Each structure stands twice: as C-alpha cells, then as structure tokens.
Structure 1
Amino acid sequence: MDLEDLARLRRARDTIDRDYARPLDVPALARVALMSPGHFSRSFRAAFGETPYNHLMTRRVERAKALLRRGDTSVTEACFAVGCTSLGSFSSRFTELVGETPSAYRARRHEAGAPIPACIAKIHTRPVRTRPAAGAG
C-alpha cells in the first residue's frame, strides 16, 4: 500500500472518528478515500486491522460509554445520540465490546475514574471486542 492510499484511508478513518453520529456507510467512506467500496473495505482492514463498520461501532460505543458514565442519559438516548438507529443492535454491539449490557454499565459506579485525565481514561476504557463480530469481514 502506498503512502497516498494510506493518507486517503486515514482521511476516511478521521471522518468516522469525527462524524460517528451521522449516518455513515462504506460507499460514502469510500468516496472520501477516492476508492471503490470493495477496494476501500479491503484496504481499510489491511491498514487498520478492522473493518470500517467495526471501527465505526467501536467509536459509537466509546462515546456511548462516556454518556452513560454521566448517569443523566438513558440507554435509548445514548443509542440515538451516537448515531445508532436500532436499540437492539446497539445493545448487542455494546455488550459484545464492553462485556456488559449498556444498562448494567450505566448502573455501575464510575466515580473511581473521575480524577483520571480524559486522555488516559480514553485509553483504558476503549471498548475491546470480546468475540468476533457478526458480519465481520
């Protein structure tokens, strides 16, 4: 993969990271990267080790965790705030990445992490896939 392709892939990844709450799909992201959808998906996975969809959902769950830690946002509100349109799919993916349901995560105490700087907390609270995602590939 040449540097130009990698720069275009990073631009698409940055779009996911910035616009995670907007409707994003592979064809739209492929346009950002100036690639065909199939080539984009294969190249993204080769470059970053995960599919564009998995990266998007990881970002959405990461942001949802922050909303749920505050305690003043319901699971449904968090789901829609991060751009998910199905509460069931959101809950399934959240549980897969975090290891507990969004409701259980929201109900748990989170004060112990309050004095930790956000940049450090982000590293330690980033969702990690606990099993292969359905449709990964």
Structure 2
Amino acid sequence: MDAASHEAWPVRRLAEVSGVSEAHFSRSFKEAFGLPPHRYLLTRRIEQATTLLRDTGLSITDIAFATGWESLGTFGRIFRDITGSSPGAMRVKVRAERPGLERVPACVLKAAQRPDLTIAVLEKRRRKSADTVGLSSKEMS
C-alpha cells in the first residue's frame, strides 16, 4: 500500500494478497498499525499530496489524480477534513515553512506532518456539527 498508494486497495485485494480472510486481515491490520486499512491508505495519500504540494509545481488537479483520487471534489473535501485546510492553503503553508526545513530528512518531515486519522472523518464532522447545533435530549442523558 505504501509503494502504490495511488491504487485502489479494497480489503478483499489486501486479504487475497495476504492469504487470509477479509475479517482476519482487517483485525490484524488495525492491531498492527492502529488504523483500519482504508484510513491508513488515506493517511498515505494525504502525505504524498502534501509532499507534492510542497515540492512540485503540479496543479492541484494533477496532484489529486496522481495520488489516487478519482475526483477533485472528493480530494479537496477529504484533504480539508483531515488537515484542516484546503490543498491551496496547505501549499502556501508548507512552502513558507520549507526554508527552515531543508536539512530535515524527508521521512522525519512526513512523520511530523502525518495527519491524525484515529477518528473517522465522519466522526469528526458529527462532533463538529454537535458543537454548533447543540446536543439532543438523548445525548444529554
């Protein structure tokens, strides 16, 4: 998955490659990496996109497709949900930080910039909307 994060990696494919059932693979993967396979893949795609935003002049559309997204809209929405900023704003931010980070190894930068996906994107949205809408009577009790 790391070497080809731009490809589709459904659990069925991963389980077949590993020679185990889908359920066993999912449980074992989460136990080993702390994230389900899909969220791990999202992390890798966002890391790669952030690197391309920082180090290349590729358009955001080209970066979206190069990192495995099928839609620019989906890329932008998920990128913003995970990182808290749009790809364009992230490009400005990481390029501004670049001069001070030239001597830091790329692997260290990736680890430091890795998005926190321990909470699902939909859960983050639910929590955000709960902050603005107020709690229902069920949630209060």
Q: TM-score, length-normalised on structure 1?
A: 0.76
Q: Which residue of 2 aligns with 1:121?
A: 109
Post-superposition shift, 1:59? 0.3
Which of 41, 47, 51 aligns to 2:26? It is 41
Q: Which residue of 2 aligns with 1:13?
A: none
Post-superposition shift, 1:132? 2.7
Root-mean-square deviation over aligned CA pairs: 2.0
State how far apart, in whole Å, the 2-side matches of 1:32 and 1:130 are.
25
Structure 1 residues 66 and 86: CA distance shift in structure 2, 3 A? same
Q: Secondary structure at the match of 2:122?
A: coil
Which of 55, 63, 74 aligns to 1:89? It is 74
State how 1:3-82 maps to structure 2 within 5 Å: 16-82=1-67
Residue identity (%): 38
Deviations 1:30-62 (A, max 9, x none): 111111222222221222211100001100100
Q: TM-score, length-normalised on structure 2?
A: 0.74
Q: Which residue of 2 aligns with 1:3?
A: none
Does the CA contact (< 8 Å) of 1:96 and 1:129 recur in 2?
A: no
Does the CA contact (< 8 Å) of 1:97 and 1:130 recur in 2?
A: no
Post-superposition shift, 1:130? 8.0
State how far apart, in whole Å, the 2-side matches of 1:131 and 1:42 are.
17
Post-superposition shift, 1:128? 2.1
Larger radius of gyration: 2
Structure 2: state its 5+ residue gaps: 124-141
Runs of 4+ in 1 over 6 A off after TM superposition: none
Structure 1: state its 5+ residue gaps: 1-15
Does the CA contact (< 8 Å) of 1:68 and 1:106 recur in 2?
A: yes
